[in-house]
């Protein structure tokens, strides 16, 4: 099917709705008010949708756009389209992730790396063998062997 890229204004709630439709690969309906018929967001619309939108604009009215699964997926692929605002949503989520999730992951990773480095340093300094560690003291166990 042939689509035409149309610039509209999509609210945050509608962006969430489109994101959900992209994630679930399902159809979606978007209500655009008269003021939303021109904007910086891009949607891929069919010829009949463009004609209905043009008529609504000329009449000073809004319109509800029903997008098929295929149309939602296609809109995601166009430059400046849905993919652009999904990246924008990800950018908004990054500060939250940086404050909450990442410090926990980094702390866990550093403790694992730190343990491995201490173990490696102990092995290099003491060599192979059996050692006991209590506090900061390390003692080599001599065996009859």
CA dihedral 123, 128, 131, 134 (to 10 degrees): -10
Higher pLDDT among residues 97 and 22, named by residue: 22
Residue 29 has a pLDDT of 92
- Average pLDDT of the chain to the nearest whole number: 74
Residues in the chain: 145
Residue 106 has a pLDDT of 53
Residue 19 has a pLDDT of 84
* pLDDT digit string, tens, across residues 113-134: 556 555 655 555 555 666 666 7
For every residue of 18-60, DSSP letters joined together read: HHHHHHHT--EEEEE-GGGSSSSEEEEE-HHHHHHHHHHHHHT
Residue 142 has what DSSP assignment? P
DSSP H or E segment with residue 133: strand 130-134
* pLDDT digit string, tens, across residues 50-89: 999 889 889 999 999 999 988 887 877 775 555 455 555 5
Domain spans in the chain, listed from the N-terminal domain onward:
4-94, 101-141
Residue 113 has a pLDDT of 52
């Amino acid at each position: 099917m042939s689509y035409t890229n149309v610039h509209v204004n999509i609210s945050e709630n509608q962006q969430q709705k489109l994101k959900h439709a992209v994630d679930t690969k399902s159809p979606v309906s978007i209500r655009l008010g008269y003021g939303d018929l021109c904007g910086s967001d891009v949607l891929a619309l069919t010829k009949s949708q463009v004609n209905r939108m043009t008529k609504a604009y000329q009449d000073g009215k809004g319109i509800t756009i029903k997008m098929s699964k295929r149309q939602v997926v296609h809109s995601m692929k166009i430059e400046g389209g849905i993919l652009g605002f999904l990246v924008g949503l990800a950018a908004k989520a990054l500060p939250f992730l940086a404050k909450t999730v990442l410090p926990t992951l980094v702390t866990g990773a550093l403790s694992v790396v730190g343990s491995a480095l201490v173990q490696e340093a102990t092995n290099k300094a003491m060599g192979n063998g059996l050692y006991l560690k209590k506090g900061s003291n390390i003692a080599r166990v001599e065996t009859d062997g």
